[in-house]
Amino acid sequence: MGLVARAIEAAGIPTTALSIVREVTEKTPPPRALYMRFPFGHALGEVGARNQQFDILWRAFELLFEADTPGTIRDSGLRWKRENYPDPDWERFRRLGPVARPSHPR
């Protein structure tokens, strides 16, 4: 998947990727990856766990804007089936966008 993310980014589109096996992602890092130590086939979490799925999407898009180094693998710290996920904060979602960084002034 890292190869696909790299090709898309190389074509000019910023990417954010989920990762469930850090050791695999480290071999072909995409530009930005959010790592969860979840089982195969469960990148968004558990069946029907809507809040969890939104939480992971929020983190993935947050990373899209916050990462500043190619090949960033951010550990979400989420533990499989051991977290409580609150209702989505839509206002917080709507605020996601470019962040000011000293190294990338705009």
Partner 1 sequence: MASRLKNQLLARVFTAFPSLAARWGKTLVQHAGEIPWVEPLLPLAKARIALVTTGGVHLASQAPFDMSDSDGDPSLREVPVDTPREELCITHDYYDHRDAESDLNLVFPVERLKELVERGAIGSLYPVGASIMGHIDGPHLATLQEQTAPLIARKLVAAGVNYALLVPA
Which of 59, 64, 76, 78 lies at the binding interface for partner 1 (CB under 8 A)?
64
The yes or no reply on residue 11 touching partner 1 (CB under 8 A) is yes
**Nearest in space to 74 (alpha carbons), one of 82, 86, 65, 85:** 65
The yes or no reply on residue 44 touching partner 1 (CB under 8 A) is yes
CB of 84 to partner 1, least distance (A): 18
The residue to which tokens 């990373």 are assigned: 63
The yes or no reply on residue 73 touching partner 1 (CB under 8 A) is no
Which of 30, 59, 76, 78 lies at the binding interface for partner 1 (CB under 8 A)?
30
Go through the chain and tell me how many residues it has. 106
37 burial class (0-12, 13-18, 19+ CB within 10 angstroms)? middle
